[in-house]
Chain A
Amino acid sequence: MRSGEIDDRWEAQLRKGCLEMAVLAILASGRSYGLEIIRALETHSNLVLSEGTVYPILNRLREDAFVTASWVEAENGHPRKYYSLTRAGYDRASRMAEVWSEFAAGVNSLIQPLLPERQEKLL
């Protein structure tokens, strides 16, 4: 397997791993529907590689009772499936945010020598 492919897979897994937390974080500020969530993800992050990854995550979150879903007929005629965070979903999002914060801080300190600014200083 080529190095590029390994990098792609690693990055895809990383994005996928963060996507659930990002979706929960968006829903923490209020109910939303799939396309709106995708737009928010595209605006605030580069987590969405394929739009198809968001809907299965929303479906799994609903199955696990972290969100509830209901169809609403929008004013422009498009039916929208709105998702809202449940209490359990909010708790999970908070727990994930705490874990992510500690994890990112730890990894950031480890990768400092690999970052370009640091390497320039060393050279």
Chain B
Amino acid sequence: MNTNDPLECYLGRFQAALRGMTVAERQDIVDEIRAHVHERMCVSGRGIPDLLERLGPPEALAAEYIHGGLVPGQRATPTEWAFVRTAFAWMAACFHLAATTSVIVWGYGASLVCFGLFLLRMAVPQLTQVWLTSEWELGVGPDQPRDVQVFLLNWLQPVLIALAVMLMMLTTTAVKYLYPRFRQHKSTAIHFTRLPWFTGARSVASSLGRGVVDAQRRVSLRMRTRWQNI
């Protein structure tokens, strides 16, 4: 960043003043203001200092984003809908995280297994032969009896490698779809949780946590005292 550039100085101060937001939210807002100034400058031919003056001081602009509601406390009203939205956002974030993790583990895992089997088949074709006797007994390895039906012939190798590549591509596509959604829902959930609706809920949760810790301490102290008495 060029510190002599008035726009970058303004945006730096503005970004620093945007407290209580995620990095992505802040960046998005800053990008929008930057785009506004650039386009306004090209269209109107005005200088950057003049345009920045029209936007107002960076701290005041950031304050508009944070506390800009007309009626103070209007957005802080704890409604059932707010809790439902927050719970839904957290559920959606957890679901997308679980789905992303499962897809990575199972998708890439299955792809690696296919690739491993392909290598194994290439390296030791005799040891990996699967055969079926006329009495329907299945066997693996080189010591096969006579008159058996041999499975997994040479066609298996291209099938395995194609399956491995296909699984890898499908998994990558699914992760590209799921991961941004997880980040989006997580960001929404964190944003809702940080709103003043949850000030009460957070204090209740922290006092409950402190209560549990105190109870644990008391129980351990009592047990230690009893143990010493014995």
Give residues in A with beta carbon < 8 Å to B. 13, 16-17, 34-35, 50-53, 55-57, 59-60, 63, 71, 76, 78-81
Contacts and interface: CB of A to CB of B under 8 A. Distances in A.
B29 interface: yes
Contacts, number: 58
A26 B39 CA distance: 20
Interface of B: 28-29, 31-33, 35-36, 38-40, 42-43, 54-56, 60-61, 64-65, 68-70, 75, 191
10 contacts: A51-B56, A53-B56, A53-B64, A55-B36, A78-B38, A78-B39, A78-B42, A79-B35, A80-B35, A81-B32
Contacts of A81: 28, 31-32, 35
In the complex, the 3 A-B pairs of residues with the closest C-beta atoms, listed nearest first: A56-B64, A52-B56, A52-B61
B36 A35 contact: yes
A76 B39 CA distance: 9
Given A17-B70, A59-B29, A60-B69, A52 B35 contact: no
B201 to A, nearest CB: 19
A57 B33 CA distance: 13
A56 B61 contact: yes
Contacts of B60: 52
A34 B43 CA distance: 14
Contacts of A76: 39, 42
A57 B68 contact: yes
Given A57-B68, A81-B32, 14 more contacts: A17-B70, A34-B32, A34-B36, A35-B43, A50-B55, A50-B56, A51-B55, A53-B68, A55-B29, A55-B61, A60-B68, A71-B31, A78-B39, A79-B35
Contacts of B42: 76, 78
A88 B191 CA distance: 21
B208 to A, nearest CB: 29
Given A59-B29, A63-B191, A76-B42, A51 B68 contact: no
A52 B68 CA distance: 11
- Which residue, of A16, A52, A55, A79, has the highest number of chain B Cβ atoms within 10 A? A52
A51 B53 CA distance: 9
B199 to A, nearest CB: 18
A92 B33 CA distance: 26
Contacts of A55: 29, 32-33, 36, 61, 65
Contacts of B75: 60
A71 to B, nearest CB: 8
